[in-house]
Amino acid sequence: MNLKLIRQTFALYGIEGELFDDKGLHVCFTLEHAYQQADGSYQPKVPPGIYICQRGQHRLEGMNNSFETFEITNVPGHTNILVHKGNYNNDSEGCVLVGAALGVGCILESAIAFGSFLQLQEGLDSFTLTIQ
């Protein structure tokens, strides 16, 4: 199943967005780390575009065990950009965090949303992600 990420808020606490399936139905909310630009605006690491997301085992810095998720491949100048659980801007170094609800400066119920995200992609080794 192909997905579309529509970014909605660009702020110090992170880049908020919403993930939709190929039928236009809401899948979850997203949060990406906000990097301040020279003009004072905030941008994520992954520019708008179309990406192939590849299933695999990954380990985040500081973790002892690997976990299954999808890597957003061919991000200009970056590798190991993943979709994973987390609630705050600092839980990501450029990855896309998923949550079931928006909080104030965060996303909520990330573990639940991550489980639903993986279930949605069950049986798929890859999918296309369009980021706007």
Give the mean model confidence (pLDDT) for residues 98-119.
96
Using CA atoms, how far residue 115 sits from 25, 39, 47, 76, 77, in Å, is: 17, 37, 26, 28, 29
Report the chain's mean pLDDT, rounded to a whole number. Answer: 95
96: Cα within 13 Å, side-chain hemisphere: 30
Residue-wise pLDDT tens digits, 62-104? 778 889 999 999 999 999 999 999 999 999 999 999 999 999 9
